[in-house]
Structure formats: C-alpha cells, structure tokens
Chain A
Amino acid sequence: MADPRLEVIDRRLSTIDHIIAVCSGKGGVGKSVVASTLSLLLARRGLEVGLLDLDFTCPATHLILGVGDATPEEERGIVPPSFHGVEYMSLIYYTGERPTPLRGEDVTNAIIEILSVTRWGRLSHLVVDMPPGLGDATLDLMRLIPRMEFLIVTTPSRIAFQTVRRLIELLREADRVILGVLENMVLEPSGRIRGEVEAMGLKYLGSIPFDPKLEEALGDAEALLQTDFAASLNAAVSSLLPD
C-alpha cells in the first residue's frame, strides 16, 4: 500500500539548503577525492557541511578523509558523527571493509534506508559521492531528490568525456540542475574539454592539474587541504560558493 520510508525523506533533508551530487559517467576520474575535498573546503569556509557516500559497493571517502572509529549516534534515527567539521555518513559504519556486493534493488533499498533514517543537522551543503554511471543510484536520486544539483567530474580523456555526455543528456532530459563540469587529472592543458562543455551551454568549472603528491595526503584531512589539488579545486568551485 505504501512504503513509510519514502514519506520521511523530504523531512530528513529539509534542514539542508543545497544537495550536491558529485558524479561522472565512468569510474576512476576522482569523484570521491573531489567530493571529500569539496566538503572539507566548504567546512573551512565556516559552512555547515555533510558528506554522504553513496558508492556502496566501492566506498572510498572514509579512506580519503581518514575517518576513525566513531560510529553514528542513535537518536530517533541515526545522527552522523562529524570529522573535521563535516557530518559524515557512509554504509562503512555497518559493513567495515567487508565486500558488500549489491544488486540494483538492494542499492535502491539501501539508498532509501539511509536517506530516511539519517538525521542531518542544519546544513548549508550536503555533498554526495555518487557511484559512477547511469545506474540505480543516479536514477534513484533523480527520483527521490528532484532538487539535487549535479557537479560533473571528467578527465581530459575522450572516453571519460563521452560517458559524461550521456550523463548530461540524461540530466537535461529530466530538467535537473547541472552546476558545471570539472576537468580533473589534467597532464597537459588544452582547451578541448572547456570548448566541448561550453558548446553544450554548460559551465566549465575549471581544470585541476594532476597532482603527484595527492596520493600521500590521502587519509589525512589537514594534509589534503594543503595539496595543490585542493587549491585548484577551491579555485574551480569558488564561483559556486558564498564568499
């Protein structure tokens, strides 16, 4: 007759001004590092921020942020703990590092469960790390959170950008808000991706050079914020954010 979980999702998210999905057409373009670092940069600006890892089968944001042993508090739902000023929610609290293979229907159910049970605080931004592609998670979030805004990550690769094109087309068909396209892992600057993005009438957020020192900063939020990667990301997304 009715799924009671769906009735409370809007209410759970009503304390959040902006919900930003960091997404891409394919994996390996740096979505999780972008999502994690973006949430830290927002928190550093004094904003109330949350980070939700929806890449259930391959979660990575907890490794990037160096999330410790804290677990969510149980208070009429689940209250996510804060790390470095970021309210953080992930299935990792319940699975640890065990492989958690999920098929489509399971992904959908887990997303609905997390959204309906998590009690976020008053947030200006909730950053969502999405699994790659046009699968269940993307379709579910488009259905469940129509006001979600999409920040699309690509690399200079033609293959990566071609998958992004498909994602953009899908989002446009559904009239979803696309904040812009971020070009990550740039080795040799060229205007090709910028040209393609602008030709589609979208905002090219900027280019992030490949940072060979990024790897050693992973797991340490303070070190991450000191990287050239974080500086480039900060510059790229500053047009989207309040001063």
Chain B
Amino acid sequence: MHEWALAEGVVAAVSRIAEEQGLKRVTEVTVRIGELQQVDREILIFAIDQLRPPIMRDAKIIVEEAPAKLRCRVCGHSWRFDPKGLEEEVSEAIHFVPEVAHAYLRCPSCGSPDFEVVEGRGIWLASVKGLRGDG
C-alpha cells in the first residue's frame, strides 16, 4: 500500500476511534506494518504529520515492522521474505499490492507459487492511546 494512502487510512481510523472512545486528545498511535508491504517508515511518518488533525497534534507515532514469513502449501517449507534480491520493478509491484508476490515468488524448496503469508502481510492500527476530558 502506498504510504500516503496508508497515512490517510491511519488518520481516519484514529479519528474514528478517538470519537468512539470519547478521547479529547490522542497521545500515542502504534501502527504495525508487515514487511511484505515494504512501507517506507520515514515517508509514512511524514505523511501522517502532514495529515494529522488537531486531536492528533501531539501524538507520538510508533511504527513497528513485522517480518514477512512465507510457508509453502505444497511442501510445507517456510522461509523469510527478502526484498533485497528483487528487481526494483518487482519490489515496487509487491509494495503496491503485496498479493502480486504470487506472480513473482516461488517456494525455494519445490518451486510452487501456492504459498501463504504466515506473518508480515497486514497493516494494523495496533493501539491508540489518549486522554479523556480535559486531561
């Protein structure tokens, strides 16, 4: 997912949650991103800074990255996704839509494209901390 689209989603989700929880001020937001997504942490934080509404004005933004682990459904082999060896075009395609990994990656053991992303696929708003009332 593109960093700016992700930032927009994070800000929208935080605003909604703050309203639902009756928060007057958000103090900390933790975003967990899967490595497969290859999100540029600096761009993401910059984009959130540009988009943050007043309620998030002073919120600390924490970005955690989860390593991408893949497992072959055919032979059961597990391996870690490594973007370093990929061509730039392929890396960018997976960045925008991680599922296209199935067009490029193959199980290193048996060559199958039928693998699952066991960890490190998603983008999650892991926590939103804030203060109720005037605090």
Contact = CB atoms under 8 A, between A and B. Distances in A.
Nearest to A114: B97
A100 interface: yes
A24 to B, nearest CB: 23
B65 interface: no
Nearest to A96: B103
A100 to B, nearest CB: 4
Interface in A80-128: 91, 93-96, 98-103, 106-107, 109-110, 113-114, 116-117
B124 A95 contact: no
Contact of B2 (A77, A91, A99): A77
B112 to A, nearest CB: 9
Contacts of A192: none
Nearest to B97: A113
A99 B5 contact: no
Contacts of B121: 109
Contacts, number: 105
A94 B5 CA distance: 18
A102 B1 CA distance: 18
Interface stretch (B12-20, B52-60, B80-88): B12-20
Contact of A11 (B8, B31, B98): B8
Interface stretch (A2-10, A141-149, A211-219): A2-10
Given A5-B9, A78-B96, A101-B102, A113 B1 contact: yes
B97 A110 contact: yes
B124 A91 contact: no
B127 interface: yes
A70 interface: no
Contact of A94 (B97, B123, B125): B97
A241 interface: no
Given A8-B8, A8-B9, A116-B9, A1 B125 contact: yes
Interface in B1-51: 1-2, 4-6, 8-10, 12-13, 16-17, 31
Contacts of B98: 109, 113
B103 A99 contact: yes
Given A3-B124, A5-B9, A7-B9, 20 more contacts: A2-B125, A4-B9, A4-B10, A4-B12, A4-B13, A4-B123, A5-B123, A7-B8, A8-B8, A11-B12, A76-B2, A78-B2, A93-B93, A98-B104, A103-B114, A103-B116, A113-B98, A113-B99, A117-B1, A117-B97
10 contacts: A1-B17, A1-B128, A4-B125, A77-B4, A94-B94, A94-B100, A100-B99, A109-B99, A114-B97, A117-B5
